Amino acid sequence: MAATLLFFILLVAAVLILALLLALYLVPVTVSMVADCSRERARATATVAWGIVGARVLVADETQAIEILLAERRIVTRDLGEMLAEKPEEKEKKAEERRPARPVREYLDAAGDLWPHIRKILETICRSLRLETLRVDITLGLESPADTGVVYGYCTAARYALWPAEAIEFALIPVFDREVFEGTFILRMQVRRPLLILIAVAKALLKRPVRERLRQVSGRGVPGA
């Protein structure tokens, strides 16, 4: 009886793990961002969703919040200001544990050592990305009308250069009699087969030289420790 129960539990666990891996391979991660800026207000919304689970960050003049979504319904809301604010005792503890800043050269050397692995991860991410929509609408007026005309000319050239990319729309409306900057930014893209990205990261972290280099640059260890 105990052996049968144990087998059943292991079977269920295996099925759940396989289902999760299949979902990570088939279900893309959707990333979207909407921002608008005007004289009266400025706000931005960024959403990351995988299946029915998602997270949304809202930033406006008086609102800074992060929301956890389930089936596009908000189930948890937290204020970003409160989350990022440190308690006095935490500040004192960090001040006591603060280590001397490492030289920039050390980080550059670490990036050079890890670059072959970073490049493979970036290549996997680039292959997984799929741009669905990128739309930018701007109303621009600078202090000098001549400068406005120059910017408009460059933007017009860029718009025609991007014309073959159907997912990209760019429009600039010049204003020559006043200073103004208003516009909207809309981005929607997918990260397909996120499992492949996780595999690429895991393959890099499974290599001992990579782990040792990361520990060294983070100050948590030295090579060979």
Number of Cα atoms under 13 Å in the Cβ half of residue 74: 10
Q: Which of 71, 36, 32 is nearest to 54 (CA)?
A: 71
pLDDT in tens, 133-190: 999 999 999 999 999 999 999 988 888 887 777 788 888 999 998 899 999 999 999 9
Q: Which of 195, 197, 189 is nearest to 121 (CA)?
A: 197
Average pLDDT, the chain: 86
Beta carbons of 82 and 67 less than 8 angstroms apart: no
Beta carbons of 147 and 119 less than 8 angstroms apart: no
In angstroms, the CA 189 to CA 131 distance is: 4
In angstroms, the CA 181 to CA 159 distance is: 19
pLDDT in tens, 56-71: 999 987 788 999 999 8
> What does the block give as tokens for 33?
């961002």
Instruction: Say what the pLDDT of residue 105 is.
Output: 81
Tally the residues of the chain: 225
